[in-house]
Amino acid sequence: MKPFFQAVWHSLRYRWTIAGALTCSMLIAVLWSASITTVFPIVKIVLEGETAASWIQHEIDKSHQNVALVQTEIEALSAEISTVPPEQTIPLSNKLDLKRSRLEAENEALAWYEKIQPTVQKYAPKEPFPTLVVALVWLLVVTTIKGILLVIGAILDARVANRTVMDLRRIYYRKALDLDQRRIDMIGTSNMMTHLSFNMMMISSGLQVFYGKCIREPLKMLVCLALAAWISFPLLLMSLLVVPAGAFLIHSVSRRMKRSTQTELSGMSDVFQTLMETFNAVKTVRIFNRERTERRRFKKNSQALYNMSVRIALYDSLLRPITEVLSVISISLSILIGAYLVIQKETHLFGFQISPTPINPTMLLLFYTLLAGAADPVRKMSEIVNALVRGGTACDNLFRTFGTEPLVRAPENPIEVPQHSQSIQFENIIFTYLPRQPVIRKLNLTVPFGQTIAIVGGNGSGKSTLMNLLTRFYDPHVGRVLIDGQDIKQMSPKKVRQQMAWVTQESVLFRGTVWENIAYGAPHAEESAVLDAIRMAGIDRFVENLENGYQTQVGDDGRKLSAGQRQRITLARAILSNPRILILDEATSQIDGHSESLIHESIAEFIKQRTTFLITHRPSSLKLADRVIVLELGRIVHDSSVSEAQSSSLDFQNLFAKSA
């Protein structure tokens, strides 16, 4: 539960709302006991025909009689002690001490009755029926106020829980964005969605219960038990003998529920994963007629999630019978003991004092009513346990997933990032995704500023990995990446990336308009700069055919546009950011040859002012490059100018065919 209390700690910033919720819970607990104690005057009035004033007078008279009787017994015992041998005085002395304790209790009760008698005689009704009406009106008023406080408390609980979860969602969304790429790949998109959606819902439910029932129900129980203890504390202790056994059973069920909740969260992630893969690749599913396969996969994952949810429901359902059975045992035990004391008019059981004075049957009935009143909050504690266990498990998963320090992070004292103007160097780079399977092997490469270098090679040769190291999505295991002679590990990754732009083969667009997607990398750019980027990327050639021009919504992942149109928009986005280092990773692979040629002409002048890495499978793209390197299994096997490469024996056509 420790992670859950971290969420509780986050919620303490809303202390005034919490204070209001706590106040409501305390008032509800007091009113709960007040409504239960109404049974006492109702029983006295209905069964015995008394009024409040006659009841007080009756209790005073009875107390006077008890005091006189006990004083007589004390005098008799004192006289007897003086006449018996010394060895027989100890049992009589113990009995005398008990009588003196009872006399003290009777005098205290008499003093209390005499103290409240004037107030009762002045304000209480004089007849039994009006007294009953007042008791019932009091019960109605208390219940109404309690209901109003319940509504207010529920609203305050929900406010604290939802605002805290909103804060946590923002915090851990930020942490998710700061995670290194290796960690993100390991977690997976579906898991991250589960953590930031389903887990957060369980944390919200847990917090609402924590500030609501978790405080209100124990307070109600404690108030009832405190009043029961006032009637007879020893009898209450005997009634609670089953509590340790109940605590053990509830703890055992809670542990199983926690393990099941962990599995449920994993099942929810699998369902999310299936949905994402199916809907993102729905055309592939349909073209290969794999709808039935995907339905079966979804059914399998849904069935696993259902089974785990049923198991959690089973554990949750076990909690309530456990608490109810234990409550019945507790009340039954107290009934047996209390009935024996009342029938036998005893104050002791097995040598232990249960009550200083014989228990009045009506007070014993009130005692049982208070125990029953305490049993209802105990029964609701099963709901509390369920919500807290699930909320705690969700917090544990959330903090364990996003609580790790990223491997790629800014140093404590980062150096200034120079404005790139000299060179980029890869020194003795070794990098691996999996142990003992290096993707980059002892690679050395120097790229002067302003040079456009084409990187060619087959799939898995390390082209994109090299760019991942340059952008510091990953750090090399061995070696350094230098910008103008400075190791980028000594710089802030965000500052390094401010000088970079990357256009990938998979065109990434966000829900919004064409214009918003172009301006994504430079939201404060002037309109003229945006239009220049649009012209260079050739977007103006197709935007006129769109329904709302630049304000056309592109849809999810840009699905309302063609692949070529999406790629032009991402190219314009990179151009608009005016980077010093430009990475074009198959940036025109989805564009037809004629349009690609026009785009090359437009950006030819633009890339001269910056260092450009051109990853390509198209020979036509080489006309933008000054230099070409060929990668094979993470090593550079060819490095020359484009003209030298084309005049050499290097078979570019075959190389491009292999890499395509």
Q: What is the 3-state secondary structure (H, E, C) of 397-423?
A: HHHHHHCCCCCCCCCCCCCCCCCCCCE
Q: Which residue has the higher pLDDT, 75 or 653?
A: 75
Element (H, E) at 64: helix 52-81
Q: What pLDDT score does 482 carry?
A: 92
Q: Name the burial class of residue 19, with classes exposed (0-12), middle (13-18) and buried (19+) by CB atoms within 10 angstroms of its CB.
A: exposed
Structure tokens at 629: 């390197």
Q: What pLDDT score does 349 carry?
A: 63
CA distances from 166 to 3, 204, 398, 578 (A): 17, 9, 14, 35
Q: Name the burial class of residue 633, with classes exposed (0-12), middle (13-18) and buried (19+) by CB atoms within 10 angstroms of its CB.
A: middle
Q: What pLDDT score does 426 carry?
A: 92
3-state secondary structure 285-350: HHHCCCHHHHHHHHHHHHHHHHHHHHHHHHHHHHHHHHHHHHHHHHHHHHHHHHHHHHHHCCCEEC
CA distances from 403 to 3, 190, 196, 201, 395 (A): 11, 18, 14, 19, 11
Taking residues 199-205, report their average pLDDT.
83
Taking residues 473-485, report their average pLDDT.
90
CA distances from 423 to 445, 465, 479, 494, 583 (A): 10, 19, 17, 19, 15
Structure tokens at 438: 């290096």
Measured between alpha carbons, how far is 5 from 15 in angstroms, rounded to an integer?
15
Q: Which residue has the higher pLDDT, 346 or 408?
A: 408
Measured between alpha carbons, how far is 521 from 578 in angstroms, rounded to an integer?
9
Asked whether residue 444 carries a pLDDT value surpassing 80, the answer given is yes
Q: What pLDDT score does 232 carry?
A: 73
Measured between alpha carbons, how far is 464 from 480 in angstroms, rounded to an integer?
17
What sections of 345-408 are H helices per DSSP?
A: 361-402
| Residue 456 neighbours by CB distance under 10 Å | 27
Taking residues 192-208, report their average pLDDT.
81
Structure tokens at 1: 């539960």
Asked whether residue 450 carries a pLDDT value surpassing 80, the answer given is yes
Measured between alpha carbons, how far is 136 from 342 in angstroms, rounded to an integer?
28
pLDDT over 70 percentage in the chain: 86
Measured between alpha carbons, how far is 71 from 77 in angstroms, rounded to an integer?
10
Q: Position of tokens 């160097």? A: 425
Highest mean pLDDT of the ranges 85-99, 275-289, 560-574:
560-574
* Polymer length in residues for the chain: 660
Q: What pLDDT score does 385 carry?
A: 76
Measured between alpha carbons, how far is 504 from 129 in angstroms, rounded to an integer?
86
| Average pLDDT over the chain, rounded to an integer | 79
pLDDT over 90 percentage in the chain: 3
Least confident of 45-49, 102-106, 273-277, 374-378: 45-49
Asked whether residue 645 carries a pLDDT value surpassing 70, the answer given is no
Q: What pLDDT score does 483 carry?
A: 92
Tens digit of each residue's pLDDT (9 = 90 or more) over 511-558? 888 888 888 888 888 888 888 888 888 888 788 788 888 888 888 777
DSSP reduced 3-state for 202: helix
DSSP type of residue 619: G
Give me the sign of the Cα torsion angle 343, 346, 347, 349. Answer: negative
Highest mean pLDDT of the ranges 122-131, 216-225, 279-288, 624-633:
624-633
Asked whether residue 658 carries a pLDDT value surpassing 60, the answer given is no
CA distances from 569 to 39, 182, 507, 595, 611 (A): 76, 28, 8, 14, 21
Measured between alpha carbons, how far is 594 from 606 in angstroms, rounded to an integer?
19
Position 355 confidence tier, pLDDT thresholds 50, 70, 90: low
Asked whether residue 650 carries a pLDDT value surpassing 60, the answer given is no
> Rounded to 5 degrees, what angle do the CA atoms 369, 214, 312 make?
105
Tens digit of each residue's pLDDT (9 = 90 or more) over 455-468? 888 888 888 889 88
Q: Name the burial class of residue 441, with classes exposed (0-12), middle (13-18) and buried (19+) by CB atoms within 10 angstroms of its CB.
A: middle
Sheet arrangement for strand 423-434: 437-448, 423-434, 478-483, 486-487
CB 513 within 8 A of CB 554: yes
Measured between alpha carbons, how far is 365 from 61 in angstroms, rounded to an integer?
22
CB 562 within 8 A of CB 592: no
Asked whether residue 656 carries a pLDDT value surpassing 60, the answer given is no
Q: Which residue has the higher pLDDT, 618 or 67?
A: 67
CB 393 within 8 A of CB 261: yes
| Model confidence, pTM | 0.67
373-396 burial string, b = 16+ CB within 10 Å, else e? bbbbbbbbbbbbbbbbbbbbbbbb
Measured between alpha carbons, how far is 331 from 339 in angstroms, rounded to an integer?
12
Taking residues 370-390, report their average pLDDT.
75
Tens digit of each residue's pLDDT (9 = 90 or more) over 143-177? 888 889 888 988 898 888 888 888 888 888 888 87
Q: What pLDDT score does 424 carry?
A: 92
Measured between alpha carbons, how far is 486 from 464 in angstroms, rounded to an integer?
22
Position 448 confidence tier, pLDDT thresholds 50, 70, 90: very high
Q: What pLDDT score does 611 carry?
A: 92
Q: What pLDDT score does 566 carry?
A: 84
| Residue 496 neighbours by CB distance under 10 Å | 22
Highest mean pLDDT of the ranges 26-40, 223-237, 388-402, 443-457:
443-457
Asked whether residue 351 carries a pLDDT value surpassing 60, the answer given is no
- Beta strands (DSSP E) in 473-573 are 478-483, 486-487, 500-503
Taking residues 63-91, report their average pLDDT.
77
Q: What pLDDT score does 47 carry?
A: 62
Q: Using alpha carbons only, how large is the chain's radius of gyration in Å?
A: 40
The secondary structure of 424-438 as a DSSP string is EEEEEEEEEEETTEE
Q: How far apart are the first and last CA of the chain?
A: 53
- Specify the amino acid at residue 12: L
Tens digit of each residue's pLDDT (9 = 90 or more) over 54-75? 777 877 887 888 788 878 877 7
Asked whether residue 588 carries a pLDDT value surpassing 80, the answer given is no
Measured between alpha carbons, how far is 428 from 72 in angstroms, rounded to an integer?
105
